Amino acid sequence: MTGAPHSHGEPNEFNSNYIKILALKNELLIWVKLGLLEAQINFVSSLSRSSIGPFQYELENGDDEYDDYLQQPEKKRHLKSDQVQFLEKSFETDNKLEPDRKIQLAKDLGLQPRQIAIWFQNRRARWKTKHLEKDYDVLQESFNELKSKYENLLQEKEKLKSKVHDLSDKLLLQEMEKGTSD
């Protein structure tokens, strides 16, 4: 009987495949647990950064390959004022950042190219917001001016309507007086 399990403990194809399946199942369970462990570490890590304080994490097996999960993210690095001034001048020249220029700026300032790219991205966003605010102010002023003119024209229209009505009444009275005198 091939493929049937033997209870005598002799090796066969079925037992070999069964053992492989069990090994794969255990490996899969370990990865699932690691995924859950990663989620737990991220949660506890976020708590430690917010209000609870520092935590020490330990994995049961203490493997070094999981150290990446346990490290805190790097602190935000603030640029020095001379670096910001240099970047501002460069931004005024051209607000688009070509790869070669990004690398050169990073070398000149002693920063990572990614930091330069993020600074330019943020600066373009601030520039766009500032211009939108200016455009809004100009449009608001123009709107207010047009609204004022419109209200003045409405008042003038009402005055003219009133004059036309008064003159129509006078004309009607004059024609009635002429009609009675004939």
Using one digit for the tens of pLDDT, what is the confidence trace for 45-86?
544 444 444 433 333 344 444 455 445 556 677 899 999 999
The two three-digit tokens of residue 38, written as one number: 């990663």
What number of residues does the chain have?
A: 182
pLDDT band with cut points at 50, 70 and 90 for residue 178: confident
Domain spans in the chain, listed from the N-terminal domain onward: 13-70, 81-181
**CATH label, 81-181, candidates 1.10.760.10, 1.10.10.60, 3.40.50.150, 1.10.260.40:** 1.10.10.60
As a whole number, the mean pLDDT across the chain is 77
What sign has the CA pseudo-torsion 7, 12, 14, 20?
A: positive
Residues 6 or more apart in contact with residue 103 via CB below 8 angstroms = 113
